[in-house]
Amino acid sequence: MTPFLRPPALPADDLLRLLREWCPEAEIARAVTGTGVDIVGARVPMERVRDVWEIGRRRHGETGWWPYVTSASPGGEAAYQDEWGCDTAEWERSVAEVVLQDHDARAASVVVSSFRWSTKSLPFDDEDFLGWRDDHDPDRLAPLLGPAVVGPMLGVPRWATDHGESRAGMRWVNFVAARGGYELPVLLPGLYANPNWFGHGSRCLTPLDDAALLRRWQEQWGAQLFFAAGPYLELVVDRPPLDPRGAAQAATELFAYCGDTVQDAVRAGNGMARSTMWSLWWD
């Protein structure tokens, strides 16, 4: 492991032994990226991925390893990261900055940049402008949403259990030493989507933008990184917002972050934002 990375509470070899206890029939593997990030994983049937992920999440405080479900083995993930490549100095700076950055302010800047890009790059008239402003302003969006609901909608994974993506009906539950799932886009920059085309046109988001939004969502609504592969991302949300203002806030941020999936902020505010699963996909 690269010396400046935060060491986990549990050494990788001990985690391997734990995984063999949790998943005695599973294939277990370990790999290290060229930047020194350790990845440990277990290949399990799709019907077990949520259980194994939940165990890993519950044990995160004592292990220091964050679990995520994906289609790639640790070796495949490491090879992809190395193939993708990165500027080592820039990567080290990002790894250090992800802990110190003002994630709320950076998340807000993503929403602002989305609004500016939308109104600058697309042809619109005054009515279009007002519509875009409503989509990006939670105070304007909230009155357009339905009333508060008693409980969250039960979300169902779309990508983690998609048999079309895994004909053998298997997934990997990989573990990376991290303070939380929000650090993974920085530790593994090619984890999902693609840092060079992530966004619209010239509006590219960086792994630090990803980390800021994921950390904000984790703290605000208990949204935890669950599945990540290619252009797909899923979050398990423990405390989704149930009132119109909270749902509007979540919807505007989701809309700004992933317009490919969240194309209608009102619909998202009444639906995904109040759900226990957020499934995002970039085209």
| β partners of residue 225 | 235
Q: What is the dihedral of CA 176, 180, 185, 189, to 10 degrees?
A: -30
Can you say how many angstroms the Cα of residue 145 is from the centroid of all Cα atoms in its chain? 25
| β partners of residue 229 | 232
Supply the pTM of this predicted model: 0.90
Q: Percent of the chain at pLDDT above 90?
A: 63
Q: Which segments of 138-265 are extended strands (E)? A: 170-177, 199-200, 203-204, 223-229, 232-237
Which pLDDT belongs to residue 196?
47
Which pLDDT belongs to residue 199?
46
Which pLDDT belongs to residue 133?
72
Q: Confirm if 189 and 84 have CB atoms less than 8 A apart.
A: yes
**What is the Rg, in whole angstroms, of the alpha carbon atoms belonging to the chain?**
19
Which pLDDT belongs to residue 129?
61
CA-to-CA distance for 114 and 240, rounded, in angstroms? Answer: 23
Exposure string for 211-222, b = 16+ CB within 10 A, e = fewer: bbbbbbbbebbe
Which pLDDT belongs to residue 83?
79
Eight-state DSSP code of residue 154: -
- The segments of the chain whose pLDDT lies below 50 read 1-3, 195-203
Strand order in the sheet with 223-229: 27-32, 38-45, 170-177, 65-70, 223-229, 232-237, 277-281
Beta strand pairing status for 199-200 and 223-229?
A: unpaired
Which pLDDT belongs to residue 161?
80
Which residue is listed with tokens 């749902």?
247
